Structure 1
């Protein structure tokens, strides 16, 4: 059983939150998953039995008990998750600028490791997690979580070159040229790269690559009739070889091998 309860972010969170959802899963046996790289920061609060996550070192697992959680910065490498057969939680996908607002500092300055809820949401983080764990209704959980984000992200998002660059990369699904983007913003390529990395922890090129990769992962439940070459063209890759190189770079596997690891119920990839 897997129950996925998504919610469209509040309009005030537009450009800061890509998505948020409540999930609940029950299996007959423990489950290990290979979690895909992404350009967003992941805020997760565990509301069920303990879970384990290994990132950035795939050999080192961190355990998160009930009413515990973390924020992980954008990561261009796969993570691994472990659960004993049941899990429940809430998850928020934050753009790097959304994570910056949540932390009140650029995410590029955050270590490449998990931040616990006290560091992420301030002193109210553990109390919020405990309240969420006691709330069984998915909509009520998301109401509480969204209200906490709105308080923490109060005020209008910054309107600057980096925010606009992120918006355009995201809107184009990574198909935009970085040189042309810099010119449109009135910056040199080097200046855009430096400012973007200082704020997001990613270069514009890497952010665009991750967006294209995400488009491929979204289509992997089935390969289109046109095959890998057709999928490469749809996702903005130069050709099939380009797609294969990028998937291997981000996951360590060729696309066909990754597809074979897709769980039979379609809910992620086996570790």
Structure 2
């Protein structure tokens, strides 16, 4: 089974995180590639505890952790923090933004900034899959159990979901997209129609989706730059002034651009190990 990068962007203070847990990303079964970006598998064994912070994102995640949390987590607007303690393992599924509604059977906006029990979406089959993950002897057995659950539950991706998923990929792939009107033009839709699609299938506004991706771009730039020019970075990300960029960046990451850059530079050796 194909394995993807060991430590993804989005984890705050990677240099600390790498000492607290192991994380691997795996591709889903071929039948699920239209719906799922990847599976992520965590293992940790700690004497005490570790509070791990993760940047907010617009994807739906379904998690199977023992002991810990099994559930469905919607797109968020704030820094996510999870306490790791003791010895545990588990698997999470990151769905492509815009592609979870066929599983949910309701607008994804109903999941925004909240989570629901696994059984609320997947019923008894979800409980059975969770038990299979709990008893699995390795990563591949966990992944197979979850893939089987999702394959049994999925239906065709509707055209509207394809449209909005493509719009999200446009945001992700084109750093020049900093405004909703640019995205609407690219998608061939009115701004109002685009907003309706995002609420239904992504669970957030297109403005927030753009902001999250651009701020993640900022985090990547700050991590890679030797001596970042904050004013220039703010301008390239579509901000009219540096102070607005700083406020948004702090709200999403929990630190100022300068603090984030200093912390990221301490992680440079760990990042080089991934290449």
Same fold (TM over 0.5): yes
Match in the other structure for 1:181: 183
Q: CA deviation at 1:41?
A: 1.3
Please say if 1:124 is aligned against 2:143.
no
Q: Taking structure 1 as reference, are residues 237 and 143 closer, same or farther at Cα in structure 2, changes over 3 Å only?
A: farther
Q: Which runs of 5+ in 1 are unaligned?
A: 52-63
Q: Taking structure 1 as reference, are residues 93 and 228 closer, same or farther at Cα in structure 2, changes over 3 Å only?
A: farther
Match in the other structure for 1:245: 247
Distance 1:137 1:174 in 2: 42
Structure 2 counterparts to residues 65-104 of structure 1, below 5 A: 69-104=70-105
Give TM-score, length-normalised by structure 1: 0.77
Query: Which sits farther off after the overlay, 179-188 or 201-210?
Result: 179-188
Q: CA deviation at 1:240?
A: 8.4
Q: Confirm or deny: 8 A CA contact 2:98 2:202 kept in the other structure.
A: yes
Match in the other structure for 2:55: 36
Please say if 1:159 is aligned against 2:159.
yes
Q: Confirm or deny: 8 A CA contact 2:77 2:113 kept in the other structure.
A: no
> For each residue in 1:107-147, what CA deviation from the matched residue of structure 2 results, as whole angstroms up to 9, or x when unmatched?
11336422111012222111110111000211121122122
Match in the other structure for 1:224: 225
Q: Taking structure 1 as reference, are residues 39 and 190 closer, same or farther at Cα in structure 2, changes over 3 Å only?
A: same
The count of residues paired between Structure 1 and Structure 2 equals 247
Structure 2 counterparts to residues 8-27 of structure 1, below 5 A: 8-27=27-46
Q: Which runs of 5+ in 2 are unaligned?
A: 1-18, 271-275
Q: CA deviation at 1:225?
A: 2.0
Give TM-score, length-normalised by structure 2: 0.76
> For each residue in 1:94-115, what CA deviation from the matched residue of structure 2 results, as whole angstroms up to 9, or x when unmatched?
1342221221222113364221
Give the root-mean-square deviation of aligned CA atoms.
3.2
Match in the other structure for 2:212: 210
Question: Which has a greater percent of helix?
Answer: 2
Match in the other structure for 1:134: 135
Q: Taking structure 1 as reference, are residues 223 and 167 closer, same or farther at Cα in structure 2, changes over 3 Å only?
A: closer
Match in the other structure for 1:5: 24
Distance 1:188 1:225 in 2: 41
Match in the other structure for 1:146: 147
Q: Confirm or deny: 8 A CA contact 2:112 2:203 kept in the other structure.
A: no
Q: Taking structure 1 as reference, are residues 84 and 169 closer, same or farther at Cα in structure 2, changes over 3 Å only?
A: same
